[in-house]
Amino acid sequence: MDKVILDGKQVADKVKGSLASRVEALKEAGVTPCLATILVGDDPSSETYVRMKGNACKRIGIESKRIHLSKETSTEELLEVIDELNQNDGVHGILLQHPVPAQIDERAAFERIAIEKDVDGVTSLGFGQTAFGFGKYPSCTPAAIMRIIDEYKIELEGKHAVVIGRSPILGKPVSALLLNRDATVTICHSRTQNLPGIVKQADIVVAAVGKPNFVQGDWIKEGAVILDAGYNKGNIGDVDYEACYEPAGAITPVPGGVGPVTISMLLKHTVDAAELTL
């Protein structure tokens, strides 16, 4: 079989294309889908991510309500802002940009987001529902990885998927989604022993480590599918693309892989949430 470059931009364009008519229909029904983004502090990368998400909303007719709070914001103040957005019928999705400054209890803030507006899948209820197989909005990056798998008709049943990373927004939920689709899932983390040996057994590798070029070419089984969720400084993934390209059967590039699909899933979840208010 020919090697496949899993083109996230193409998948994202397809997802966004399918949203245009749904946004139009919502507007005809008097509802403008709206995503509220909350940025706390002035971390430049977070500012860029929030701006990109807001601009992506606008391009397809979703309203973007941007809330920028000072870096001195307390947990209580942030919870109040989230409460207001929860009660605002004009807001359909709420995204709190991670990370927040250290004085804030980030988990408490995530938990405060109403489940029907948790379009980024950050609440424990949303995670639980995803794990049980009936969640409406899984975290956007895990949802993006599954979308790429489906668009390219990558078989999961009975396959060995190795996920490197166990964070609440990425490693854990993507593992649950893969398991729900009958993959045999191994979750690796910083204490895992013999990581290269485990990755070598994988039919599907999901890299969600947060370390540039971490996954090495000689860890990869011939023909394995590699999904690189990593997005490190300088547009560098968690997978050493040059080295892994050769053995891989299919691989996502960085940039242009999981990242653009993640944003398109956020838009899709916001439209889904708006439709549920009709």
What is the C-alpha to C-alpha distance for residues 148 and 146, in angstroms, rounded to an integer? 5
For the annotated catalytic residues, the residue numbers are: 53, 97, 120
Contacts of 162 (CB under 8 A, 6+ apart): 185, 186, 188, 198, 199, 201, 202, 204, 205, 206
Footprint (CB under 6 A) of ligand NAP, residues 180-199: 188-192, 195
Q: Which stretch binds ligand NAP (CB under 6 A): 9-17, 29-37, 208-216, 265-273?
A: 208-216
Q: By CB under 6 A, tell whether 164 contacts ligand NAP.
A: yes
- The nearest distance, CB 36 to ligand NAP, in angstroms, is 19
Q: Which stretch binds ligand NAP (CB under 6 A): 17-25, 40-48, 153-161, 205-213?
A: 205-213
List the structure tokens of 233: 């400084």
Buried b (16+ CB within 10 A) or exposed e, 93-105: bbbbbbebbeebe
Closer residue to ligand NAP, CB minimum distance, 26 or 57: 57
Q: By CB under 6 A, tell whether 121 contacts ligand NAP.
A: no
User: How many residues are given for the chain?
Assistant: 278
Closer residue to ligand NAP, CB minimum distance, 26 or 60: 60
Binding-site positions for NADP(+): 165-167
What are the residues binding ligand NAP (CB under 6 A)? 141, 164-167, 169-171, 188-192, 195, 208-211, 229-232, 238, 258-259, 262
